[in-house]
Chain A
Amino acid sequence: MLRRALLSPPVLISLIVVVVASTLPLYVSGYVLGLLTIAYYFGVFSMAWDLLFGFANEVNFGPSFLIGLGAYTAGILDSLYQPPIALCVAAGVIAAMIGGLVLALPALRVRGPYFGLTTLVAVLILQNFVVVAASLTGGEIGLTVPDVISIDDKVNYWIALGFMAVSGAILYGLSRSPVGLILEASGQDPVQAGALGFNVVKHKLAAFLVSAFFSGLAGALMAFYLGAASVGTFIDVTVGVQVIIGAVIGGRRTILGAALGAVFLVALGETLRPLGDLATFIVSAVALFVVLFFPAGLLGMVKGVREAT
């Protein structure tokens, strides 16, 4: 079964895509590389979100809460004391995981829309904190992160690509593994899962922690790539919406599709940027179109075509 999963078309195609993508720095401009670097971090955000939504069946409207915690914790630590970057990143990850636990508590008590609401509130609280504690966080102007991982576009690009590939492999592997099956059972029908002897709370908590781990890690790495952190790039509700739409148009419950969707969305937004506000409108329209007519997302579309032939 494992071998079949590893050699399945989505995995093979992803591998080919990653290999091809890793050669891009040899022939595309720095502008495109920079864009893709950001897109890859968004790919990880969306995959981490899909684990919670697609498998644990928890509708988290606040992915940017976890991302923001990771980015800001790492960034603030660096701006204050300049410890080794790895330490800052680790602190960001830990903060995000604590945030994941905080989100999980209401999730295990209230259901569906109410949980969604609490996650939105979490985002707003974090956003307000950043604005209020301006001396620490840079407030509305943003935080300058003094260190960067590298100043070379290509290196940054490869780091982001490698990070997305490894995260994707882990998250996809998890989703296809026995614990992934238990998690999906816990999400679809907690009563049945309990009756089969599974501790639903434990599995859902684990999913929150894993999702928070990757969100926080990606957030922290992206902050070091940008050399800055601001509410608009990491915490704002629109960031979360972009992460969610990326996962949804890519294909829910597929993990890999989420990365595809996120990259597609960032690329589309950037390509259309000369159009100004119209760009946002077109991106939203495309997202709505995919959601309405291809609820299985881009990956589902491809699968559907394959099955039909």
Chain B
Amino acid sequence: MSARAPKLEVEGLQKRFGGLTAVRDVSFSIQAGEILGLIGPNGSGKSTVMKSILGVERPDAGSVRVDGREVAGWPPHRIARLGVGMVFQHSRPLYRQTVIENIILGLLPDRLMHLLPLAATDARARAIAERVGLAGVLNRRPSTLPFADLRKMEIAKAIARDPQVVLIDEPFAGLTARETASFAALIAEMRADGRAVLIVDHNVKSISALVDRIYAMHVGERIAEGTVEEVMANPTVRKVYLGGALETAARPETAFGDAQTPFLEIDNLNVVYGKAQALENVSLHVHQGEFVAIVGLNGAGKTTLFNAVSGLVPYAGDIRRQGRTLRGRTAATIARDGVVQSPEGRELFGAMTVSENLDMGGHRLPDNVRAERREWLFDLFPVLKERRSQTAATLSGGEQQMLTIARALMMKPDLLILDEPTLGLAPVIMEQISKALARLRQATEMTVLLGEQNVTFALPHADRVYVLEHGRIAWEGDPSRFAAEAGARYL
């Protein structure tokens, strides 16, 4: 390692939210041309560390030095101008502007008299778009972009300012293996350009391959630091973050009693948005108590399929529940009869507390059942219990995801639809959810329809798998055959 001063030095960083110390005595430094990985369970304070470095959250104590300059306590725009850029955990594009305008924004100087657009700015924005792979969608609006392109746009905005220190919060969440690889390549390029990179992600495999060193946190504090091997082998890290391997337990289709009329039948489903055919002749069935995974890349049509089942989008074809058609029934009555969707977009009530969000989910249950159910969920997600009087909007990304799933479970669904439930979850939480689902499977007749592109999570739980590609069912079978017959694109 060179003797030069580090690009970024963090020392004794501390951040409190009311009574909660989200970050406590965190210290590390990053050299130019180095990537430091920051890992830890959900809510351990990783995003807070990043926000405190950039000044979006004001640190309560400690020092943050950029190129040797003390910046703790500065407003974010001044820190950003010193050369710190951040890719936020959740994309926050300007929705009314096009992709190219969003990137141009990143290139503009902070001056009031900048009235005429420069051709050079436009050209640079195009070059950056080209580099991150957005050249084809320059004039589209963010709301029409697939998820991966939205994330690319955030990266494009961040590199537009040519930052020397780049903070990247969960770049791989929600991306497929191939997209993850191309993102990792972009980040490796930043290292090659001599930038100092701090990166947070729960995709342990990709992080391990990318970073130079790792810093692991738990409840706001350091638990380990060092090379990838050292940290991953650390017993505390294994216990609080990595957890054990997921267990598989597929049941054969003949094990389900409703072979004649499966619990859910979908026949020749077609959904068209404007000119785009989102689903084409999709037929599938799910037995009572069965766990079926729909595997598909971003934009393959998973969410559209689930929305059709929930009665949220118009469709052609037929969807039957226990032999009776759902056509013509409103989304509200479908939900009331026990088809509950845990949406990808989270859709929590941001200003309400965790408890209130859960009670909204269980508002139709008798008081004692609701209380019992809530205790059970708190048992399943202990962190939600600790955070029960915190508003949902201030939860960490993973905590929000847990709350979404918990709220869906609160409704005692007959059919639970989980849309990308693992987005942003630490491995150990995935294991917990996985165990909970296994327990549910034994204890109740709940049927589960899971949409995932994270096949490492989907396969172990599923009794059966459908692969959805470009709105069509491309493969169907049991998980043991998946790897050999359909896995190439997903594993």
Contact = CB atoms under 8 A, between A and B. Distances in A.
A88 to B, nearest CB: 28
A188 B94 contact: yes
Contacts of A182: 105, 108, 110, 114
Interface string B258-285: 0000000000000000000000000000
Contact of A195 (B86, B110, B113): B86
Given A194-B56, A195-B56, A1 B122 contact: yes
A181 B97 contact: yes
A296 to B, nearest CB: 11
Contact of B56 (A2, A178, A191, A203): A191
Nearest to B81: A197
A254 to B, nearest CB: 11
Interface string A157-177: 000000000000000011001
A298 interface: no
Interface in A179-235: 179, 181-182, 184-185, 188-189, 191-200, 202-203, 206
B77 A177 contact: no
A184 B94 contact: yes
Contacts of B121: 178
Given A185-B94, A195-B56, A174 B110 contact: no
A202 B112 contact: yes
Interface size class of A (residues with CB under 8 A): 20 to 34
Most buried by A among B85, B112, B113: B112
Interface string B51-87: 0001110000000000000000001110011000110
B101 interface: yes
B114 A178 contact: yes
B96 interface: yes
Contacts of B105: 181-182, 185, 196
A179 B104 CA distance: 11
A276 B152 CA distance: 58
A269 to B, nearest CB: 31
A160 B113 CA distance: 27
Contacts of B85: 195-196
Most buried by B among A178, A202, A253: A178
Contacts of B55: 194
A198 B77 contact: yes
B112 A203 contact: yes
Contacts of A198: 77, 108, 110
Given A188-B95, A196-B161, A197-B161, A2 B80 contact: no
A113 to B, nearest CB: 13
Contact of B101 (A173, A181, A199, A253): A181
Nearest to A192: B92
B374 interface: no
A192 B88 contact: yes
Interface residues of chain B: helix, strand, loop or mixed (majority) = loop
A195 B115 contact: no
B96 A173 contact: no
Given A177-B117, A181-B101, A194 B94 contact: no
B77 A199 contact: yes
A285 B76 CA distance: 46
B218 interface: no
Contact of B112 (A2, A196, A197, A206): A206
Most buried by A among B95, B96, B110, B111: B110
Nearest to A176: B117
B157 interface: yes
A141 B101 CA distance: 52
A182 B121 CA distance: 14
Contact of B114 (A179, A184, A185, A200): A179
Contacts of A174: 115
B79 to A, nearest CB: 9
B393 to A, nearest CB: 13
A19 B110 CA distance: 37
B126 to A, nearest CB: 11
A98 B96 CA distance: 31
Interface in B93-109: 94-97, 101, 104-106, 108
Interface string B234-275: 000000000000000000000000000000000000000000
B116 interface: yes
A181 B75 CA distance: 21
A308 B412 CA distance: 44
B454 to A, nearest CB: 27
A223 B97 CA distance: 39
A179 B81 contact: no
Interface string B429-455: 000000000000000000000000000
B76 A194 contact: yes
Given A1-B122, A184-B97, A194 B77 contact: yes
Nearest to A198: B110
A177 B114 contact: yes
Contact of B88 (A1, A188, A195, A199): A195
Given A177-B115, A177-B116, A182-B105, A200 B77 contact: yes
Contacts of B86: 195
Given A185-B94, A198-B77, A178 B117 contact: yes
Given A181-B104, A188-B94, A189-B94, A195 B76 contact: yes
A173 B115 CA distance: 8
A189 B92 contact: yes
Contacts of B77: 193-194, 196-200
A200 B425 CA distance: 33
Contacts of A202: 110, 112
Contacts of A194: 55-56, 75-77, 80
B74 to A, nearest CB: 11
B114 to A, nearest CB: 5
Contacts of B161: 196-197
A98 B86 CA distance: 36
B117 A1 contact: yes
A159 B94 CA distance: 38
Nearest to A2: B117
Interface in B433-491: none
7 nearest A-B pairs in the assembled complex, by CB-CB distance? A197-B80, A194-B76, A197-B81, A178-B114, A177-B115, A199-B77, A192-B92
Interface of A: 1-2, 173-174, 177-179, 181-182, 184-185, 188-189, 191-200, 202-203, 206, 253
14 contacts: A2-B117, A173-B115, A178-B114, A179-B111, A179-B113, A179-B114, A181-B108, A185-B94, A194-B56, A194-B75, A194-B80, A195-B88, A196-B105, A253-B96
Given A185-B105, A194-B77, 6 more contacts: A177-B116, A178-B115, A179-B115, A181-B105, A189-B92, A191-B56
